[in-house]
Amino acid sequence: MTRARAREFRTGTVALYAALVVFGALSLLPLLWMLSASFMAQGEATTFPPALLPRNPTLVHYRDLFGRLALGRYAMNSALVATVTTIGALAINASAGYAFAKLRFRGRDATFRAMAAGLAIPVQVAMLPLFLLIKSLGLVNNYGGVIIPGLSSIFGIFLVRQYALAIPDDLLDAARIDGASEFRVFRSIVLPTIQPVLATLALWTFLATWNDFMWPLIVLSDDAKYTLPVALAGLVGEHAQDVELMMAGAVITVLPVLILFLMLQRYYVEGVTEGSVK
């Protein structure tokens, strides 16, 4: 490489990284400001020019949220709904995905194709019929009505199936010959093998359920049963001017998901690379 070419190459790299830093900062800025504003005194966030950092950091909004506004209860509601849905979805999607990938039964491929076609239907279209179904089951204003529709998803089954297709048949046959029952094959061989995709699925399901606003709003009518996003939306109506309080609420909503992502990141990333090499 000549010196001119080397310099050209280096300039290109520097420009690329500079652009990445700018875009990274741009996407991070609102999040950081959200965090910063949640510690500001009332009215400070709406001054002009807007303040970047709180002059006198305060926890008053958090105290307000958990005390006066009882957000703790809503957070618990959300945690319950998201955790139960995630565990259930893992069990159901993992077994269904594995069955579609590896077990032989009549009508398997036709069923799977029909299901995959369902991926194209927007969620909103299904909401009314789903609500009527939930209503006929008597699950309106019941956590069951929020949780059950999330317990299995076409996308989740699809995700697991694609991953499970890569499991060699010999591996399953070896376990069968070793004396394992079909359930034991699933538990002792399949589940550990598809662990990376399960981490992805867990994260994705938890995220979707935790953040879901529309469906809990439709199903739940009792104020005490609200999940965090629904309760927070209620706050917007009452406290539209109170930007700092809103930001503290947003922090509480984002935080658990962020922590979960950091915890599962190792498996998540591992899954991405392993899938490409194998």
- What does the binding site for other proteins look like in residue numbers (CB under 8 A)? 168, 170-171, 173-181, 184, 188-189, 192-193, 195
Nearer to other proteins, 142 or 195 (CB): 195
Nearer to other proteins, 155 or 268 (CB): 268
Q: Please, what sign has the CA dihedral across residues 119, 124, 128, 131?
A: positive
Which tokens belong to 264?
């599962």
Please state the closest distance from residue 278 (CB atom) to other proteins, in A: 10
**Structure-token match 């927007």, residue found:** 122
Please state the closest distance from residue 184 (CB atom) to other proteins, in A: 7
Q: Could you give the residue ranges of the DSSP H alpha helices within 137-242?
A: 143-147, 154-164, 169-177, 182-184, 191-193, 195-211, 214-219, 228-238
Please state the closest distance from residue 88 (CB atom) to other proteins, in A: 24
Per-residue burial over 242-268, b if 16 or more Cβ lie within 10 Å, else e, is: bbbbbbbbbbbbeebeeebeeebeebb
Nearer to other proteins, 173 or 238 (CB): 173
Burial of 97 (0-12, 13-18, 19+ CB in 10 A): buried
Nearer to other proteins, 169 or 222 (CB): 169
Please state the closest distance from residue 266 (CB atom) to other proteins, in A: 15
Nearer to other proteins, 178 or 238 (CB): 178
Nearer to other proteins, 83 or 195 (CB): 195
Amino acid at 183: F
190 to each of 92, 176, 185, 244, 265, how far by Cα in Å? Answer: 14, 12, 6, 48, 21
Please state the closest distance from residue 165 (CB atom) to other proteins, in A: 16
CA-based max dimension of the chain? 76
Please state the closest distance from residue 187 (CB atom) to other proteins, in A: 12
